[in-house]
Amino acid sequence: MTKIFKNLILLLTIVAGVFYFSSCEKYTYIVDKRIPVIDTTGNDTTNLVKFATEIQPVFTAKCISCHKGTRNPDLREGNSYAALTGGGYVNQPATGSKLYSMMTSGSHSSLSTQEDKNKILLWISQGAKNN
């Protein structure tokens, strides 16, 4: 009887141990989704809005029917970044920049969504990078 009892205690200890260590394992493998991505110049680029994949598509879909070279700024892919930075459209503060002001006022404000406008604002406030 005591032998069975001892074996039972031993078994319970093993089972408890297995649960204890497996639960530890769960927590050590949680991955931080926002691990900083440091670029070659040492800047943290984790949450930067990307010009090529997030900003240019807005211009391409909603602006180049008119801004295609004959009207400033030229927002066609390949020309837009130079046109915006060279033409002083993305100066700080972002809320006062020519690009954001134009996109949020008059008839232009209905041409893009609030999400587009927020993205543009964030991109300019992050320094309007050609990334």
The angle formed by the CA atoms of residues 29, 34 and 39, to the nearest 5 degrees, is 120
Residue (42 or 106) nearer to ligand HEC, CB? 106
Contacts (Cβ under 8 Å, ≥6 apart) of 54? 119, 123
The window from 8-16, 24-32, 95-103, 123-131 that contacts ligand HEC (CB under 6 A) reads 95-103
DSSP label of 113: -
| Pick 112 or 121: Cβ nearer ligand HEC | 112
Stretch that binds ligand HEC, among 5-13, 31-39, 44-52, 59-67 (CB under 6 A): 59-67
Residue 63 in contact with ligand HEC, rule: CB under 6 A: yes
- Measured CA to CA, the distance from residue 110 to residue 126 in angstroms comes to 24
